[in-house]
Structure 1
Amino acid sequence: MATKTSLSSDDWIKAAFRALSSGGVQAIRAEAIARDLKVSKGSFYWHFKDVPDLKAQMLAHWSSQATDAIIAAIEANDGSGREQLRLLVEAATDDRNLAYGGVRTEGAIREWARYDSAAAAALKAVDQRRLAYVAELFERCGFCTAFSRSGANILYGALIGLEALASGELADLRADMLALLAALLQGGDSSQA
């Protein structure tokens, strides 16, 4: 059995995201998460003031790890805009989210945001940051601003929809996203400024 000092706040946050992904926001409860982690509920208070504090830290962690860290990794690559877009699609469709509940996690966050203003604000900020970055990558490929924004919306919107299909095993998330990216890059060639 783990002790309160052997678990980090990240362990609790990952477990909370797994609870969110499988049972919705109402499943984010200290007792249930403690059972999942096989520790006492008292261990929760070692890292968090209360459940609202956990939820706030979950949203900050998600923004940092699922957006900022990925963008930083892509920016560390000196490849072309096309290469960076491919790397971004690969990062968005890899298995790094398994510890957080898998492909259902982002959809669960979107559902949470429908009923919670803090989650809605975090989601909007993340969506804006992601869309701006994807549009920037399309512009690095030489596409005009209008096409870059449309391409970003199409690619990101497809990711959101394909994640939902993939959670039901109705899509191959990575293959479908890479195929869409290839089509956008090819089709956009005639839309360059």
Structure 2
Amino acid sequence: MFEIIGNRKIDEIVSNYRHNMILTCDDKRKIWKEVAKTEAKFNLSSMAIKASILRSWVDLISRINLAVDNTLFYISLNENGCLMIDPRIFTKFRVSDKKDYIKNEKELYIFIQFMAEKFYEDFVLLNSIFKDSYFNEGIRQGLLFWYLKYRILSEKNSTNYNIHILKFLDIIFRNKLFIILYFISLLPYSIRKYFVNRYFIR
């Protein structure tokens, strides 16, 4: 676990960060739902993975743009061996408004759009690699989130970044956030821009 320091609230960064010790050396799919509720996939600075495992996945890791935390998390779920998620605080995580280090609003917008695009590309790759895994649902959620965020931010939606949204309806309608993002993504850009300035540019 990590402690948030900075000027933003904890619930803006993580969702359900309180949990007990999780330890298994058996079939990880049995505790997948419990693991998915933690923020382990977000906490790269506190991850410890065997070097031999990392070397065997170096090709995938080298192709990842930004979602390294997520990638190592899903690699660890895919591999044999024991998995432990420790709730004790190990690191501090500073969170600041993006405006603190990018003063120009246009540059900030481009930066946020770039991040959404690269995370989306990463989750497309992860989805192709782990498409038959028991934890693929988590990857599909990440893919859909970054896809919708990219669509909302994009004035002109590129044909290179389209998914068959019908395949994700099961995820969308189980989560209020996805429902909101989905309907915002359908709006004309002139209207979407209000939500971008209100909720994304900060």
Higher strand share: 2
Report the TM-score range of the alignment, normalised by the length of the smaller protein: under 0.3
Scaled by the length of structure 2, the TM-score of the pair is: 0.26
Higher helix share: 1
Scaled by the length of structure 1, the TM-score of the pair is: 0.27
